[in-house]
Amino acid sequence: MELKIPIEKIIESLPGGHKIYENPAEYDIAIHKHPFLKEMKERIFEFAKQHLNENSRIFEYGAGTGNLTEVLADLPFGYFLITEDDKKSYEFLKNKLGNNPRLTFEMRNIAKESNDKPFDIIFSSIADHHIPFDQKINALRVIFSLLKPGGYFIVGEELLDEFKDEASRIEALKSYHGAIIQKSIERGYFLTAESESMALKNGVDSFDEHKVSKNQHLKNLKEAGFNLVLAEKMGPDDGRDQGVYVIAAQRSK
Ligand SMILES: C[S@@+](CC[C@H](N)C(=O)[O-])C[C@H]1O[C@@H](n2cnc3c(N)ncnc32)[C@H](O)[C@@H]1O
């Protein structure tokens, strides 16, 4: 029997106003069961392995509870700076991965300029959609400025179909999150379904969730000076131009 998710009820019944990573321990469990993120992390790891050498400087922002960080830490070499902006997530992250001597941690907002020595490769996973629409280009410019010429910027991100107005933005959100909620319930991952429901509610309310379309994300990268090198969809397999993507871009040499 096919499940029919009561998407309107989910939106109406949730209180809203809560960040999905408000409770880092629960978020960490939920995110590890998110369909398509395993593939996303594997693809990022593969890309990274091909573009690193033993002297590489690696930067990850919006690391959260270390969902991608713990995978990157298995790369055979590199110096890693790992940043996260939310205090509770940062403390959880340090507690979880803080005794790995290869990783350096810092609490930092990506949209703020910094004078770090430039990096060879910059990563993030499902963090950019928390940056407000009017700060996205600025954040990308900061990232660009933190890369060496020829350096790579690789993200795993949830991107939407092209939307022309608020109604089509909300339709795209319902379709994407609905598919993730449904898959999570079918697999018995109720914490993931709950977390996705909150993400949907927050997206509709534009509270801490500001997802762009895939095309808009690619345009933003171009505007910030990047050249696109990879755009691969991980799922869901719904025939739409939206879902979990791995996008890699390069700063010109
Ligand atoms: C959905 S979580 C993703 C965490 C982790 N990367 C993962 O894959 O599970 C988004 C993270 O981005 C962080 N974040 C949001 N806005 C940020 C910003 N402007 N600068 C740095 N981190 C930010 C949040 O604090 C949160 O931990």
**Domain ranges, ordered by start, for the chain:** 7-251
Of the candidates 189, 186, 207, 187, the one whose C-alpha atom is nearest the C-alpha of residue 198 is 207
pLDDT tens digits, one per residue of 220-237: 999 999 999 999 999 999
**C-alpha distances in angstroms, 232 versus 39, 157, 210?**
11, 11, 21
Alpha-carbon distance of 123 to 63, in angstroms, equals 9
Which atom of ligand 1 is the closest one to the Cα of 66? Answer: 5
Total length of the chain: 253
Which atom of ligand 1 is the closest one to the Cα of 126? Answer: 3
**Which of 69, 72, 85, 125 gets mutated to test ligand 1 (max ligand atoms within 8 A of its CB)?**
85
pLDDT tens digits, one per residue of 100-110: 999 999 999 88
DSSP secondary structure code for residue 232 in this structure = E
Q: Residue 217 pLDDT > 90, yes or no?
A: yes
2 confidence band (pLDDT: 50, 70, 90): low
Query: 7-251: which CATH number, 3.40.50.150, 1.10.287.1080, 3.40.50.720, 3.30.2130.10?
Result: 3.40.50.150
pLDDT tens digits, one per residue of 162-188: 999 999 999 999 999 999 999 999 999
Alpha-carbon distance of 113 to 142, in angstroms, equals 6
Question: How many angstroms separate the alpha carbon of residue 3 from the centre of ligand 1?
Answer: 31
Which residues, including other chains, have CB under 8 Å from residue 126's CB and lie 6 or more apart? 37, 62, 156, 157, 158
Q: Residue 239 pLDDT > 70, yes or no?
A: yes
Region 201-212: what's the mean pLDDT?
98
Region 241-245: what's the mean pLDDT?
97
Alpha-carbon distance of 232 to 194, in angstroms, equals 27
* The overall pTM is greater than 0.85: yes
pLDDT of 205: 97
Which atom of ligand 1 is the closest one to the Cα of 124? Answer: 6
pLDDT tens digits, one per residue of 108-162: 988 677 788 999 999 999 999 999 999 999 999 999 999 999 999 999 999 999 9
| Count of Cβ atoms closer than 10 Å to residue 14 Cβ | 17
Nearest CA to ligand 1 atom 18: 109
Q: Decide if 185 contacts 156 (C-beta within 8 A).
A: no
pLDDT of 109: 87
pLDDT tens digits, one per residue of 41-92: 999 999 999 999 889 999 999 999 999 999 999 998 889 999 999 999 999 9
**Which of 65, 130, 135, 142 gets mutated to test ligand 1 (max ligand atoms within 8 A of its CB)?**
130
pLDDT tens digits, one per residue of 42-54: 999 999 999 998 8
**Which of 84, 105, 202 gets mutated to test ligand 1 (max ligand atoms within 8 A of its CB)?**
84
Alpha-carbon distance of 16 to 109, in angstroms, equals 23
Which atom of ligand 1 is the closest one to the Cα of 60? Answer: 6
Alpha-carbon distance of 227 to 15, in angstroms, equals 41
Q: Which residues form ligand 1's pocket by a CB distance below 6 Å?
A: 21, 31, 61-64, 67-68, 84-86, 89, 109-111, 125-127, 130-131
pLDDT of 158: 98
3 confidence band (pLDDT: 50, 70, 90): low
Report helix, strand or coil for 230.
Answer: strand
Q: Residue 210 pLDDT > 90, yes or no?
A: yes
Sign of the dihedral through C-alpha 133, 204, 184, 94: positive
Q: What is the mean pLDDT of the chain?
A: 95
Question: How many angstroms separate the alpha carbon of residue 9 from the centre of ligand 1?
Answer: 27
Concatenate the DSSP letters of all residues of 41-89 into one string.
HHHHHHHHHHH--TT-EEEE-S-TTTTTHHHHTTSSS-EEEEEE--HHH
**Which of 34, 40, 86 gets mutated to test ligand 1 (max ligand atoms within 8 A of its CB)?**
86
pLDDT of 154: 98
